[in-house]
Amino acid sequence: MTEPVHIPILTAELLELLELRPGDSCIDATVNGGGHTAAMLERTAPDGRVLGIDRDPGVLARAHERHADAIACGRLTLAHGNFRDLGEIAAAHGFAAVRAALFDVGVSSYHFDASGRGFRFAENEPLDMRFDADDDSLETAADLLQSRSLDELTAIFRDLGEERFARRVAYGVVRAREQAPVADSRQLVDIVTRSLPGNVRWRFARSAARVFQGLRIAVNDELTAIEEALPQAFALLADGGRLAVMSFHSLEDRIAKRYFVAQRQAGTARILTKRPLQAGDAEIAANPRAASAKLRVGERLAASTA
């Protein structure tokens, strides 16, 4: 099987807004497939530095292969970790007063297409969903399905997955696990399908996608991580430095929007995207996963300006 390619989204728009220059230092807090990292390296050449962070050792291993030359010459530093610890990671690798920091908080194509951890439901896979499969401190998706109460599962599917029939699906999980643990993606899709009202059952894939989203967010505590990371990233910016957040569903985008608005109201930032930028028709045609992407960018104001 060929390796899936994670296609970076809105790269041209991102580079235009970040205004990177040769010699700049910047942070890619979510390496994913390394496409945005590569763009940052190119724009800051010949002597700019990039810090790339990712939770998944498998993703980082691929990035090490792709960017071996940049690592060897000291222009790229790759770090394994959760971006909720961004300040600590950046300090450990000598990054401060950076020109730009980027969060692409979507799931990479590697996770969907090759990780085998249950991020998708097109194939039958174990319900793991941890970005870092070596992190034993995290419960897997199967663990959550087995241990959480009816009300807790309903909240996961409703609040994190934005699923209309969350209660019905949660009840289906509770009933199913009385017979056997819900341990793989096919079992969960079957439960979702059976739980839906008959007149909407033909649209089971939409509900399944939302349920899987909710589980993934809960497993990795994604929303809290974003909330904790954005202030750390903003603090690492030099005056005039820019913070970019690329999100893929309303929960992530809402966090970014509120953070930028709060900084503007405090007089510490200027919002460069009055409305989030989205991919055009040509990019979506080439990469359908770009359809849900939203990009917001803010600029840190100098203390004298604030």
126-183 pLDDT, tens digit each = 999 999 888 999 999 999 999 999 999 999 999 999 999 999 999 999 999 999 999 9
For position 4, what pLDDT does the model report? 45
Q: Which residue has the higher pLDDT, 5 or 225?
A: 225
pLDDT of residue 269: 97
Structural tokens at position 31: 């390496």
Q: 3-class SS at 280?
A: coil
The average pLDDT across 101-113 equals 77
What class is the 11-110+222-300 domain?
alpha beta
Among 1.20.1050.10, 1.10.150.170, 3.40.50.720, 3.30.2130.30, what is the CATH number of 118-220?
Answer: 1.10.150.170
* Domain coordinates in residue numbering, the chain: 11-110+222-300, 118-220
Residue 115 pLDDT more than 70? Answer: no
Q: Is the dihedral of CA 191, 192, 193, 194 positive or negative?
A: positive
CB atoms within 10 A of CB 68: 11
Find residue 104's DSSP bridge partners: 246
- How far apart (Å, rounded) are the C-alpha atoms in residues 246 and 265? 22
Contact 102, 29 (CB under 8 A): yes
Query: First-to-last CA distance in the chain?
Result: 54
Q: What is the pLDDT of residue 107?
A: 73
Nearest to 279 by CA among 268, 288, 270: 288
Mean pLDDT over the full length of the chain: 92
CA atoms within 13 A on the CB side of 51: 28
Position 219 scores a pLDDT of 96
Question: If we measure between CA atoms, which residue out of 125, 114, 128, 116 comes closest to residue 215?
Answer: 128
pLDDT at position 113, please? 64
| Count of other CB atoms within 10 angstroms of residue 264 | 14
The whole-number pLDDT of residue 1 equals: 35
pLDDT at 73 over 50: yes
Say whether pLDDT at 306 is over 50.
no
